[in-house]
Amino acid sequence: MAFLALDTLTKHFGSHVAVDRLTLKVEKGEFVSLLGPSGCGKTTTLQMIAGFVEPTSGGIRLEGRDLLAVKPAKRGLGIVFQSYALFPHMTVAENVSFGLEMQGVAAAERAKRVGETLDLVGLGAFAGRFPRQLSGGQQQRVALARALVIRPQILLLDEPLSNLDAKLREEMQIELRQIQRTVGTTTILVTHDQGEAMALSDRIVVMNHGRAEQIGPPHETYERPATPFVASFLGKTNLVSGATVRPERISFAAAGLAGTVRTRIFQGNHWLYQVDTADGLVTVIRQNTGEAMPGEGAAVRLAWRALPPQSSGEVSASSRTEGS
């Protein structure tokens, strides 16, 4: 029995189908990301798990019990919103302690758990500060501590890093994954950021128009996209000689598909190329190794290796939803 199970979960808003028969099983301690563009249904799915939105049909079960029969405040879930939703008039410690007070936890136990959780997120020395005195990354960690301190069965994250700049977001991704592994809390993340989902997740649910187009480990989903949408959404891709080929798998070679370099862009650790070929415009990414690279206008040949066949133990990339 799965720890958390979504069974043909569906939500209509009038004639609009926001979530369409989503089936998903999440194991205890797993980190799963709902990934997709705006309007794909990922946030609505999270809100149905949290109890903020009532499903039109389908079921949600947590350790076998019907979660839809439980009021949101009683579901035992920790939630981190995009806006952090910190109380500006409360200190860091008071913000983190708030949920424990609502649960009626004794003062001594509250103080102990707040201290332990602030240490976990690296903010033990900031307990007496107010949110306005913190950076964006520090506020994000306070929100995370507030969600974790109640020891939730599931941690729900709604675009928690989207307000951070690129460098800080990357740092927080590493911290978030380390914290999740330390506490072992089952986590569901909503994000539109492909890199974030692949960096953090045990599995990714790629959603489009309310449906799960593919569910699988990040590497498997990236390397073996089940649909054209998944292939295009998870980074750059090419359709060459009838096959989907990622740009970083294509190399310049002595023999292969003939082409002419249209564009060459230096991006620090790699070069980004666009090459005109008989199969159309092909994107190529080559690591910057310091060696001389073809310039614009150069005649080149492109080669790539096909992925090896899947072993019987691998997850099928053609499986769009679990149990189908």
Binned at pLDDT 50, 70 and 90, residue 114 comes out as: very high
Mark whether 244 and 121 lie in a shared domain: no
One domain for residues 47 and 184: yes
Q: Could you read off the pLDDT of 80-108 as tens digits, one per residue?
A: 988 888 999 999 999 999 999 989 999 99
Are 77 and 186 found together in one domain?
A: yes
Strand extents, DSSP E, the chain: 4-13, 16-26, 31-35, 57-62, 65-66, 77-80, 154-158, 186-191, 203-208, 211-216, 238-240, 243-245, 250-266, 270-277, 280-287, 299-304
Secondary structure class of 66 (helix, strand, coil): strand
Kindly state whether residues 266 and 142 are assigned to the same domain. no
Cβ–Cβ < 8 Å for 275, 300: yes
Note whether residue 320 is domain-resident. Answer: no
Mark whether 85 and 127 lie in a shared domain: yes
pLDDT tens for 313-322 read 333 333 344 4
The fraction of the chain above a pLDDT of 90, given in percent, is 77
Q: Are 222 and 242 in a shared domain? A: no
What pLDDT, on the 0 to 100 scale, is given for residue 271?
95
pLDDT of residue 185: 94
**Do the domain assignments include residue 323?**
no
Count of structural domains, the chain: 2
Q: Is the dihedral of CA 112, 115, 118, 119 positive or negative?
A: negative
* Same domain, yes or no: 63 and 162: yes
Residues 76, 172 within the same domain: yes
Give the domain extent around 102: 4-228
End residue of a domain, out of 206, 228, 250: 228
Q: Is residue 233 part of a domain?
A: no
Same domain, 126 and 53: yes
**Residue 214 domain-assigned (yes or no):** yes
